[in-house]
Amino acid sequence: MAVDMSAEDHASRHCTFARSDAPMIVARLGSVRIGVACVMFLITILGVADGVSGQPLTAAQKAFHQGYAYHTGEGQEANLDLARRYYLQAVKHDPTLFPALSNLALIYYGAKNYKKAKYYYSEAIKAARGSDDITGHQEAKVSSELGACYFQEGKLLEAEKWFRAAIAHDSGLVEAHYNLINLLLKQDHRDEARQAMAIAERVAPSTRYGLFEGRLRGKQSWDEWNPTWVKVIAGAALLAVLVLPLLRWLKNR
């Protein structure tokens, strides 16, 4: 991915990137985009809404609630440090609490602490694989985000592995396709990038891929307007420019 990787503030941003089924806490890093769905877990996994489960909150659920409130600034001023502390309490009580693990990873990612972000994303993936309540879509998102960590560290082969794993879990996940295409372009693997983009447009259509069209078309246009015979002529002309003065100098000696 030949992109500007400067991090933007992620704490206060909410959007529905590549999905519409839940609010998301999102970090945008140049063209690598990551996000973790949180609210849906309050009902589908934690069963915490009053009147939905009828059960009191566990210690892990209470800690997650508090961390989420500080993370999003819902009902109070956002405070990432307090959010992190409450999430840590949550996973101390329940090491398999997927949303707390995912959001911890997101906070560390935003702080550019990729080592810890990778750890918690990996733990979230383990939790997803050990639970029937976590969908393949959610595991795919976390896999893509783990790939983004490796991308930031310059470990592109590992990043590609996780982007492709995300697509394997959910072929409709736009951000995983987006990140994979970006990565292939960064490596100047343009043919692979074109193939990846063709697949993405078929299985996970999005206008976001339009950002790549100019870059791909630019290289293709150069190849079309600069065939081999043009390169040969240009090379011969350059050689003449370099050699003729030398021949004149030798002749005048």
For 136-160, what is each residue's pLDDT tens digit?
999 999 999 999 999 999 999 999 9
Residue 9: predicted pLDDT: 32
SS3 243: helix
The predicted-structure confidence for 205-226, as pLDDT tens digits, reads as follows 999 999 898 888 765 443 443 4
Q: Is 14-205 a CATH 1.25.40.10 domain? A: yes
Cβ atoms of 54 and 24 within 8 Å: the answer is no
Cβ atoms of 121 and 106 within 8 Å: the answer is no
Cβ count within 10 A of residue 176: 30
Q: Are 32 and 148 in contact (CB under 8 A)?
A: yes
Closest CA to 89 of 109, 104, 107, 108: 104
CA-to-CA distance for 44 and 21, rounded, in angstroms?
Answer: 12
pLDDT confidence of residue 36 = 40
Task: For residues 53 and 154, give the distance between their C-alpha atoms in angstroms, rounded to a whole number.
Answer: 45
Pairing of strands 24-29, 32-37: antiparallel
DSSP 8-state class, residue 46: S
pLDDT digits (tens, 9 = 90+) for 165-196: 999 999 999 999 999 999 999 999 999 999 99
Average pLDDT, the chain: 76
Encoded tokens for 217 = 């078309």
Helices (H), 94-189: 98-110, 114-129, 136-152, 156-169, 174-186
> Which pLDDT score, from 0 to 100, does residue 245 have?
61
Question: What pLDDT sits at residue 215?
Answer: 80
